[in-house]
Amino acid sequence: MNLLEELARHLEFCGFGTVADENTDGDIHWARMPDSPDDCICVFSTDSGVGGPDSTARFQIMNRAKSTRTAYEVSYAIAQELDEYEGFLNGDGRDVSIEVLNAATGLGPDTKKREVYVTNIAVKYCN
């Protein structure tokens, strides 16, 4: 399991929704944001990934919703959940430290008038 999927599964474990895969229609995705459902979350890598135990990977967690309030609240809740997180991720159980770089930043509506928010994080392996 790659770190993108582990982060998505960790968000599922924290109660933010269900990870979509080949067997499940979910509202948490990784690597690509599908056109539906309207309210969903996606984890993107914003760099080349973790190259070793001393390196840091940067990710963006994008979420969208039909209402501005819902989109903001989900983004803010994700940032609160991950802020200064140290521990094991759901999935392969990597021990990580997470730093929120910026939280709940509104990007405005997409082409279907769904509000989009992002939170940027840095993830570092602890061992």
Give the number of domains in the chain.
1
What are 57's two structure tokens? 């990977």
What are 35's two structure tokens? 């056109």
71-117 per-position pLDDT tens digit: 999 999 999 999 999 998 876 677 899 999 999 999 999 999 999 99
26-65 per-position pLDDT tens digit: 999 999 999 999 999 999 998 755 555 567 889 999 999 9
pLDDT of residue 46: 87
Q: Which residue range is the domain that position 38 belongs to?
A: 3-125
Q: Which helix (H) or strand (E) holds 62?
A: strand 56-65
What are 99's two structure tokens? 């730093």
CATH of the domain at 79: 3.30.2000.10
| Whole-structure pTM value | 0.90
What are 115's two structure tokens? 């509000």
